Amino acid sequence: ALYLCDMYREVIEHPWSLPDSLKKHLDLNSGNDRGRIYRLVPERFQQPKQPRLSQATINELVKTLEHPNGWHRDTAARLLYERQDPSAVPPLKRSLGRSKWPLGRLHALGALDGLGALAEPTVRQGLEDPSPLVRAQAVKLSERFLANSSTALWAKLSGPTMRLDPMVRYQLAFSLGETRRAERLQLLVDILRMTTSSTDSSWIQVAALSSLSEGAGELFAKLVASRPTDPHPRDEEFLLELARLIGARNKPAEIAQVLHYAPRSTTDDSNATSDNSFLDLALARALGEGLRLAGTSLAQAGRPEDLKSIFGGARWLVQSSASASTNRLQAIAVLGQFSYPEAGALLIPLLDSRQPQAVQLAALHSCERFTSPELGAQLTKRWSALTPALRAEALNLLLKRPEQTAALLTAMNQGLVRPSELSASQINFLRTHRDPKLREQAGLALGAPPNSSRQEVVQAFLPALTLAGEGSRGRKLYLERCSSCHRLGNEGHALGPDLATVKAGGREKLLVNILDPNREVNSNYISYLVETKDGETLTGILGSESATSLALRQAGGVETPVLRSNIASLQSLGQSLMPEGLEAGLNPQDLADLLEFILKF
C-alpha cells in the first residue's frame, strides 16, 4: 500500500516570517481542522493473511530469509538471532551454498555471524559467491580474521574477482584498514587505479583514506610513482587529500615523502605552467593545510633545503605574471605557509586594483595565518582601493586577532572604515570584546548604539514598495552590497539564503528582511563566535561538523576549519551575520531598484 498525506492548512509559513501588514488579512488557523490520509492499493486488493513468524520453526525462519519481502527477511533474521538456537547452523550453511536468491545467501552469512558460528572457511565460501552483494558482505565479515588471516583468505581477498564490482572494491577498501600486511598498500593502489566512474571513485577514495592509520606516506609514494601520464583530475584530488591527511598526522617521515615532490625553484616558463608544477604547488599547499590542523606549519615541519626550494618556486611564479592563472593562485596560497617577514612583502603588494580580484582574494586568504601587528595597518591603508567582496574578507581577517583588531579600530576612528560596513554580529563582538582596551576603543569608534528601531527604518523605506524599480541599477547594488553573502543565478556566494528562494515571500517581506535582518533568523544562518587557544577570533555561520572539527562559513565563500581541540570557547551570537544598516547612503528609489532586480531575475 501507498500512503498519501494531504495537508489542508491554508497558511504554512510561520507567523514570524509574515509582515504585520499581511497577517492582519489572514486567518492563520484556517484549515487546522481538516486534512486526509489516503491508503492507495491496487484494484481488487485483498488483505493478505498476517504472518506469525514468532511461531515459526527454525527451518521455516531459515527459509523465510529468501522471502521477496524485506520485512519478512529482516524479521526472520532478528528471530534467529534472538533465539540463539545452534540447530539453525546446519540449515543456514546449506542455504549459503544452495539458495538461488542472493539476498537469502547474504542473510545466511549474517545469521551465522549472529549465532557465533562464522568460521574462516565459511567467509571464503562467501568470497567466491557469484553475487557482488554476497561478496561485499563476506569481505566485511572477513575483518575479524584479517589480523591473523591465513594465506588462503588473503589470496581470496586480493584476487581479481574482488575488484570486478565497485561495491566489492568499496567494502574491500574499508576492510583493508583491519590488516597490517605490507601487501595491503599495493592492493589499495590497484583498487584506486581501477575505479572508472567518478561517483564510485569519490566513495572508494574516502574508504581508502579511512584505512590509513598506518602507511599513508608509503601509499602516497606508490601513487606518485605509478602516476599515469594523463591522470584524471579525481586522482590528483585524492593525492591532495592524502597530503592533507599526512600533514594532519604530522609524522616527519611521511612529511618528507610529500616534500620530495614539492615545487623546485625555477625560472622556466614551461615548467612553471605545466601540470606537474600545478600538482607540486597544490601538494605543498595541501600538506601545509593539514599541518595547520596539527597545530604547526609547513615552515616549522619542513627541512630547510625543501623549504628554500618551495619558497623560491612559489615566489618566482607570483612575481613572473600579472594573471590569475591556477598555478599563480596556488603559489600565493603556498606563500601563506611561511611567516609574514618572509612572505608579507610578496603578498601585500598584490592588494592592488590592477591585479585580478581572484589574486587579491588569494593574497588575503594567505595573510590569515600571519600574526604580525604590521599586517592590520597595511590592510587598512589600502581600504579605499578594496572592493566590497575584498572588504568582507579583510574584515574577517582583521577581527581574528587582537593586534589586527586594534588596527581596524584605529582606521575606524580615522574615518577610513565605516561602521556600517560591519555586520550586527561583528559590531556586537567589538562592543563586548574580552580585551578592555579594545572594548573602550570600539566604543569610541562605533559611538553610542542607535536609538532608532529597525521598524522605524522599515517605515521610512516603505515608499520603495510603490516606486517603479530599474533592474540594471538594482544589479549594481546587488553586486556591491549583497553578492559577498548571497547567490542569485551564477553570481555571488551562498553564505546566506539563495535570493532565488526568497522571492515567493513577496516584495514587502523581502524589503523587511533587507532592512531588519535580525527580525527573523533561520537557525541555519545564526552567527557564531569561536575563540581558539592560539589567539584567533572567528565569526561566521556553522557549516559542516564532525567529531573532531567544525567549519565556519564566512563572507566571500570562505570556509575555515577549526579543530575542536583548539576551541577555547564557542557561542551563538543570536544574530544574523547580515549587517544592519545596509540602507546607509541609499534612498527608497535605490531599494526599489534592488527589489526589482531580485524579484524579476
Question: How many whole angstroms separate alpha carbon 553 and alpha carbon 542?
Answer: 6
Residues 164-195 pLDDT 10s: 889 999 999 999 999 988 899 999 999 988 86
E strand or H helix that includes residue 439: helix 436-446
The pLDDT of residue 277 is 57
Find residue 576's DSSP bridge partners: 526
Q: Is pLDDT above 60 for 520?
A: yes
Question: How many whole angstroms separate alpha carbon 467 and alpha carbon 185?
Answer: 68
Q: Is pLDDT above 70 for 396?
A: yes
How many beta carbons lie within 10 A of that of residue 369, not counting itself?
19
Higher-confidence residue: 18 or 344? Answer: 344
3-state secondary structure of 325: coil
Residue 484 near residue 387 (C-beta atoms within 8 A): no
Residue at 227: amino acid letter: R
Q: Which residue has the cell 520485512?
A: 71
**584: its cell numbers:** 546607509
Higher-confidence residue: 90 or 518? Answer: 90
In order of their start, the domains of the chain are: 2-40 (no CATH), 48-118 (1.25.10.10), 454-599 (2.30.30.100)
Q: How far apart are the first and last CA of the chain?
A: 43
Could you write out the DSSP letters of every residue in 116-135?
A: T---HHHHHHHHT-SSHHHH
Q: Chain-wide mean pLDDT for the chain?
A: 87
- Half-sphere exposure for 311 (CA within 13 Å, toward CB): 20
Q: What is the mean pLDDT of residues 253-273?
A: 64
Q: What is the pTM of this model?
A: 0.71
Q: What is the mean pLDDT of residues 262-266?
A: 50
Residue 332 near residue 286 (C-beta atoms within 8 A): no
Residue at 112: amino acid letter: L
The pLDDT of residue 270 is 43
The pLDDT of residue 263 is 53
Distances (CA, A) of 116 to 73, 88, 138, 139, 144: 19, 11, 15, 17, 12
Could you write out the DSSP letters of every residue in 204-255?
A: HHHHHHHT-SS-HHHHHHHHHHT--SS--HHHHHHHHHHHHHHHHHT-HHHH
Outline where 250-356 has alpha helix (H): 252-259, 269-272, 275-293, 298-301, 304-319, 326-335, 340-347
Question: How many whole angstroms separate alpha carbon 512 and alpha carbon 583?
Answer: 11
Residue 193 near residue 226 (C-beta atoms within 8 A): yes
Q: Quick one: pLDDT band at residue 218, thresholds 50, 70, 90?
A: very high
Residue at 504: amino acid letter: A
Burial 4-26 (b: 16+ CB within 10 A, else e): eeeeeeebeeeeeebbeeeeeee
Outline where 37-84 has alpha helix (H): 58-64, 70-83
- Half-sphere exposure for 92 (CA within 13 Å, toward CB): 27
Residue 61 near residue 53 (C-beta atoms within 8 A): yes
- Spatial CA neighbour of 328 closest among 281, 378, 384: 281
Residues 268-300 pLDDT 10s: 444 444 445 566 788 889 999 999 888 888 888
**481: its cell numbers:** 552590497
Residues 100-130 pLDDT 10s: 999 999 999 999 999 999 999 999 999 999 9
Q: What is the mean pLDDT of residues 157-162?
A: 87
**105: its cell numbers:** 545467501
Q: Is pLDDT above 90 for 49?
A: no
Residues 339-392 pLDDT 10s: 999 999 999 999 998 899 899 999 999 998 898 989 999 999 999 999 888 998
Q: Quick one: pLDDT band at residue 262, thresholds 50, 70, 90?
A: low
The pLDDT of residue 467 is 93
Residues 19-35 pLDDT 10s: 777 788 888 888 888 88
Q: What is the mean pLDDT of residues 215-228?
A: 89
**482: its cell numbers:** 549583497
The pLDDT of residue 266 is 45
Question: How many whole angstroms separate alpha carbon 484 and alpha carbon 153?
Answer: 56
Q: Which residue has the cell 574508504?
A: 207
Higher-confidence residue: 546 or 107? Answer: 107
Higher-confidence residue: 481 or 65? Answer: 65
